Amino acid sequence: MNKDSKSNILIIDQLTAGFGKSEIVKKISMQVTEKEITALIGPSGCGKSTFLRCLNRLHEETPDAWVHGKVNLNNKNIYEKGTDPVFVRSQIGMVFQKPNPFPSMSIYDNVAAGLTIRGIKKKTYIAEAVERSLIQAALWTEVKDKLKSAGTSLSGGQQQRLCIARALAISPPVILMDEPTSALDPISTAKIEELLHQLKKEVTIVIVTHNMQQAARVSDQTAFFLLGELIEMDSTKKFFTNPKDPRSENYITGRFG
Amino acid sequence: MSEFIHAKSIKNNEVRFSDALFYNFLRLITVLIIILFASVFVFLYRSSEPLFLEQGWSFFKETTWSPTTDTYGVLAFVYGTLVSSFIALLFAVPVSMGSALFLTQLCPRFLVSPIRSIIELLAAIPSVVYGLWGIFVLAPFIKNYVQPVLSGLTPGLPFFQGPPFGLGLFTAGLILAIMIIPTITTISIEIFQAVPKLYKEGAKALGATDWEAIKIAVIKPGMAGVLAAITLGLGRAMGETMAVTMVIGNRADISSSLFSPAATMASVIANEYAEAGSNLHSASLTAVGFTLLLISMLVNFGARYIIKKFRGPI
């Protein structure tokens, strides 16, 4: 279908990762299609979050963490020797489980943070980027009159959309989301899911979720993880209606997890 | 069923009674602290009153301190206290911040607690021992190396000129710096550790380098707390007596040189109280104590105001 017209922006090849002696992610290979939403689902402790954190090299920030394998972003391995993780993270943004706007920073400064880090000083450029990102994150109308107030003064759902705007501001081609709605109420969750539909016109999203219904609602592709392995990956429709692996079927029918 | 409710309500009453006892006990203790503070304040004022009656308020404007002629002015000591404490902060703040950041952000984990206990050990050294070390090690070093070099480098500046005694404001400031480093460092460590890791990860995920992430997601959120730590250190520096008295040279004088002998409010009280002859002399010494209390309060309120401005949600 139209999947063929899109290219694979991320190609993950035999990725293995863990901490110290424990292996959390086991030889995972998968492809992430450009401008689609790929959902990673599975029971707690299945390695989906660790896997996600390998995709922007954030995993290695934890003490004792290690990674093997390749992650190709636009055909360039982000784990190649000499590749700066700082550069990788400017190409692959991330939104976390708990909203984490920088405390002691205003709404405006939070969104601008990625730009100022990059040394961009031009005020008009920053102002444009902030407005664009807040509009993209569907937060602009709610905050445009109080851009100078603290980012942490917003509600949880607004804070999470602020974090999405912050990630969008540096225009990364890929954004990773680690259970972005698990700390939010149903209405804020619905808003963010709606937002994801809008966002995928412009960015590729890889989202980890605990919530199978969410995966079914928002994603184009679904990957099912179990005990550090990728059990099955397919288009979301096929995965939920006709899973190939019995373990996937058990999981989506609620027999475990 | 009714029995059950009955039993429960009795139990509730019991809890309420013990709670009341507990609350009142806490209330009593808190009130005691306030009374204690007020009584110190009143005592200091009342014992210095003879001086104010005799001299009026000139005590706060006068720089001369001369018990032989019964002229008493506090300004030279205020100068000594403020400048020595400022020198202490100048050295202690960067060192403390640096080591707190290193220990919480960069240091390999197995090294953190040994290094931390060494820093905390600095606080366990009695101040008289610091004073001795100041007299026998630091003062000669400053006299023979630091002052000659500094005054040679800055021929026009008055701050580093004058005869090299070794004992003076600068030496006192350095000793104070060493004494307040453990205070500022350990509190800053607690503060930096309390900043949630998710902010730093958020900064990293935006493409921040280590330094930028620490700046945005550790130092900035922790700034209010660090300022509070610095205030505590400053309070300790302003009130420290023994070590300062031993190394400051004890001369009631405002000199343009940081290396000349001086005296602080605390050091003059410690030096002269035992042999205060006249009634007026001892009244002036309590007046110095009163001034020290006022200035400490002022610094504390000022610091609180600044901290409030910096306070984030943490």
Confidence of residue B207 (pLDDT cuts 50, 70, 90): very high
Above 70 in pLDDT, residue B6?
A: no
Confidence of residue B232 (pLDDT cuts 50, 70, 90): very high
The closest of B98, B217, B106 to A117, measured between CA atoms, is B217
* Average of per-residue pLDDT across B184-208: 94
Please provide residue B259's backbone torsions phi and psi, each rounded to the nearest 5 degrees: -95, 0
d(CA A248, CA A242): 10
- Structure letter (DSSP) for residue B262: B
d(CA A215, CA A182): 13
Confidence of residue B152 (pLDDT cuts 50, 70, 90): confident
Are B49 and B76 in a shared domain?
no
Count CB pairs under 8 A between chains A and B: 75
In chain B, the residue whose alpha carbon lies closest to the alpha carbon of A169 is: B206
Above 80 in pLDDT, residue B22?
A: yes
Above 80 in pLDDT, residue B312?
A: no
The pLDDT value recorded for residue B163 is 83
d(CA A139, CA B304): 35
**Domain total of chain B:** 2
Q: Cβ–Cβ of A89/B207 closer than 8 Å?
A: yes
Q: Which residues of B touch A98 (CB under 8 A)?
A: 198
Q: Cβ–Cβ of B207/A152 closer than 8 Å?
A: no
Are B40 and B24 in a shared domain?
yes
Above 50 in pLDDT, residue B314?
A: no
d(CA B205, CA B30): 47
The pLDDT value recorded for residue B17 is 85
In chain B, the residue whose alpha carbon lies closest to the alpha carbon of A117 is: B208
Q: Print burial letters for B129-156: b (CB count within 10 Å at least 16), e (below 16).
A: ebbebbbeebbeebbeebbeebbeeeee
Number of Cβ within 10 Å of residue A195's Cβ equals 19
Q: Does B112 touch chain A (CB under 8 A)?
A: no
Above 80 in pLDDT, residue B15?
A: no
Tokens 């390695």 belong to residue = A47
Are B45 and B64 in a shared domain?
no
Q: Cβ–Cβ of B212/A117 closer than 8 Å?
A: yes
Are B12 and B67 in a shared domain?
no
Confidence of residue B9 (pLDDT cuts 50, 70, 90): low
Report yes or no: A69 and A13 within 8 Å, Cβ to Cβ.
yes
In chain A, the residue whose alpha carbon lies closest to the alpha carbon of B209 is: A86
Give residue-wise pLDDT tens across range A80-126: 999 999 999 999 999 999 999 998 899 999 999 999 998 899 999 99
The closest of B208, B312, B214, B197 to A113, measured between CA atoms, is B208
Query: Which of B207, B223, B314 has its CB closest to that of A86?
Result: B207
Q: Does B93 touch chain A (CB under 8 A)?
A: no
Are B20 and B123 in a shared domain?
no
Those residues whose C-beta lies under 8 Å from the C-beta of residue A138, and which sit 6 or more positions away, are: A161, A191, A194, A195, A198
Are B49 and B116 in a shared domain?
no
Single residue among B56, B72, B93 that ends a domain in this structure = B56
Are B219 and B121 in a shared domain?
yes
Q: Cβ–Cβ of A150/B312 closer than 8 Å?
A: yes
Query: Which of B205, B208, B220 has its CB closest to that of A93?
Result: B205
Below-70 pLDDT ranges, chain A:
1-5, 256-257
Q: Does B312 touch chain A (CB under 8 A)?
A: yes
Are B16 and B152 in a shared domain?
no
Q: Which residues of A touch B205 (CB under 8 A)?
A: 56, 58, 89, 93-94, 96, 167
In chain A, the residue whose alpha carbon lies closest to the alpha carbon of B197 is: A100
Identify the CATH number of the domain in which residue B291 sits.
1.10.3720.10
Consecutive H or E run containing A233: strand A229-235
Those residues whose C-beta lies under 8 Å from the C-beta of residue B301, and which sit 6 or more positions away, are: none
- Cα of B221 to nearest chain A Cα, Å: 6
What percent of chain B is predicted at pLDDT more than 70?
Answer: 94
Q: Which residues of A touch B105 (CB under 8 A)?
A: none
Bridge partners (DSSP) listed for residue A19: A22, A65
Q: Cβ–Cβ of A102/B203 closer than 8 Å?
A: yes
Consecutive H or E run containing A224: strand A221-226
The pLDDT value recorded for residue B1 is 47
Average pLDDT over all residues of chain B: 90
Q: Which residues of B touch A150 (CB under 8 A)?
A: 312-313
Edge-to-edge strands, sheet with A8-19: A22-33, A8-19, A65-73, A76-77
Query: Which of A61, A63, A114 has its CB closest to that of B207?
Result: A114
The closest of A167, A127, A119 to A147, measured between CA atoms, is A127
Above 90 in pLDDT, residue B278?
A: no
Above 90 in pLDDT, residue B11?
A: no
Q: Cβ–Cβ of B199/A152 closer than 8 Å?
A: no
The whole domain housing B250 covers 57-310
Domain spans in chain A, listed from the N-terminal domain onward: 2-252
Are B61 and B39 in a shared domain?
no
Q: Cβ–Cβ of B208/A86 closer than 8 Å?
A: yes
Are B302 and B165 in a shared domain?
yes
Bridge partners (DSSP) listed for residue A15: A28
Give residue-wise pLDDT tens across range B244-262: 999 999 999 898 899 999 9
The pLDDT value recorded for residue A210 is 87
Q: Which residues of A touch B221 (CB under 8 A)?
A: 102-104
Query: Which of A61, A150, A167 has its CB closest to that of B204?
Result: A61
Fold of A2-252: Rossmann fold (3.40.50)
Are B145 and B48 in a shared domain?
no
Are B99 and B8 in a shared domain?
no
Average pLDDT over all residues of chain A: 92
The pLDDT value recorded for residue B12 is 56
The identity of residue B179, as a single letter, is M
